[in-house]
Amino acid sequence: MRAAVVVFPGSNCDRDVIHALRTTVSADTETLWYESSDLPKNIDLIVLPGGFSYGDYLRCGAMAARTPVMKAVRRFAEKGGLVLGICNGFQVLTESRLLPGAILANQSLTFICRSCTVRVERTDTPFTLGCRENQVLEMPIAHHEGLYFLPDEEISRLKKEKRVVFRYCGPDGELDDSHNPNGSLDNIAGIVNERGNVMGLMPHPERASEKILGSDDGALIWNSLHIWLEKGGR
């Protein structure tokens, strides 16, 4: 796998993602500076990492979404390239309209950093094909803005089209408010675009990719991508 991890001013999980990609699936990984409008050749995956791009000023992800690299990311995605936005990266994807919706401040109005459990809602995406249906994964969240929002009519469309890939849940996969850490609509933790090649998720798989860190469930996502690419992207 050849992957590029975008670095915006204020990104702070770029190195973590690179470490996880290298240690779990030995991906050939490089960084991609936000000002570049060209992508490296033969890239399979672009990751928009977590952090506080542009200090989270104005709106989280708003300014990063309007940088030159995002034009290139859009073209890449339109051609079917794999794009994964994690945390702030998810915010960048909604701000750049590569994914629907908006991400608002947590209901608690506080930053929340802790381990969470999420349920895999779809296993036919490149990001989750190595998971079992309804498998519960343990991955941490760390955000102040993680409440996924869409107006009523659009959220029902999103659900109908089965675009929700991860939902916050209890340890046994139960979906209820007590296991919704940030007030996200419908416990949504991660979604894909219509074509299924662009995913945004709030939890950090790179923080749960090695046993020593408490969980290696996040490695399933890197492994899924690896398998997908090995099979020639099907």
Partner 1 sequence: MDCKIFGLRKEEYETIKKQLGREPNEAELRILGVMWSEHCSYKSTRRLLRQFSSEGKQVLQGPGENAGIVDIGEGLAVAFKVESHNHPSAVSPYQGAATGVGGIIRDILAMGAWPVACMDGLFFGDPSKEKTAGLMQGVISGIGGYGNAVGVPTVGGKTVFDGCYDGNPLVNAFCAGLVRHDGIVRSNTAKPGQITVLLGSRTGRDGIAGAAFASARLEEDTKGSRPQVQIGDPFVEKLLIECCHELLSKGLIVSMQDMGAAGITSSASEIAAKSGRGVLIHAEKVPLREKGMNAWEIALSESQERMLLVIEPRYFDTVAECAGKWQLECAAIGEVTDDGRFRIMEKGKTLVDLPAEIVGGGCPEIHWPSIPLSESLTKDLTDTVEPEYPDEWGNHVLDLLSSPNLKERAWIYEQYDHMVQINTVVPPGGPVSVLRVKGSERLLAFTMESDPWSCGLDPFAGGAETFMKAARPLYVCGAQVLGMTDCLNYPSPEDPGNFWALEESVKGLATAASEMDCPVVSGNVSLYNESPAAKILPSPLVGLVGLLSRREEYLSCGSWNEGDKLFLVGPIKGSLASSLSKRLLCGLSSGRPFVFDAAKERSFRQKALETAHRSLASSGRVLAGGGLTVALAKECVLSKIGAKVDPECFMEAFEVFFSEGGPRALYAVPSGKEKEFRELWDSFGCAFIGSVSGERLRIDGFLDLDIDDLSVAWKG
Partner 2 sequence: MTYTAEVLVYLKEGVLDTQGKAVKQSLQRLGFQDLEDVRVGKYIQLRINAENEEAARARAKEMCVELLVNELIEEFDIKVVD
Task: Give the footprint of partner 2 on this chain (CB under 8 A).
Answer: 58-59, 62-63, 66, 95, 101-102, 104-107, 109, 147, 149-151, 183
- In the bound state with partner 2, the residue whose beta carbon lies nearer, of 74 and 149, is 149
Q: Among the candidate windows 66-74, 109-117, 160-168, 183-191, which touches partner 1 by CB under 8 A?
A: 109-117
CA-only gyration radius of the chain, Å? 16
Write out the two tokens for 202. Answer: 């709030």
Per CB under 8 A, does 114 bind partner 1? yes
Q: What does 112 bind: partner 1, partner 2, none (CB cut-off 5 to 8 Å by kind)?
A: partner 1
The three state secondary structure string of 187-223 is HEEEEECCCCCEEEECCCHHHHCEHHHCECCCHHHHH
Q: What does 54 bind: partner 1, partner 2, none (CB cut-off 5 to 8 Å by kind)?
A: partner 1
Catalytic residue status for 143:
no
Question: What are the backbone angles phi and psi of residue 115, rounded to the nearest 5°?
Answer: -70, 145
How many CB atoms are located within 10 Å of the residue 52 CB?
A: 18
Catalytic residue status for 133:
no
- In the bound state with partner 1, the residue whose beta carbon lies nearer, of 26 and 110, is 110
Residue 30 bridge partners (DSSP) = 4
Q: Would you say 47 and 7 are in contact if contact means Cβ atoms under 8 Å apart?
A: no
Q: How far is the CB of 62 from partner 2 (least distance, A)?
A: 6
CA torsion through residues 204, 218, 124, 40, sign: positive
Catalytic residue status for 210:
no
Contact characters 201-230, partner 1, x per CB under 8 A: ---x-xx-xx-xxx----------------
Per CB under 8 A, does 58 bind partner 1? no
CA torsion through residues 234, 118, 99, 21, sign: negative
Question: Among 17, 191, 18, which residue's Cα sits nearest to residue 98?
Answer: 191
Applying CB under 8 A, the residues found at the interface with partner 1 are 9-10, 12-13, 15-16, 19-20, 50-52, 54-57, 110-114, 140, 142, 144, 204, 206-207, 209-210, 212-214
Active site amino acids:
87, 204, 206
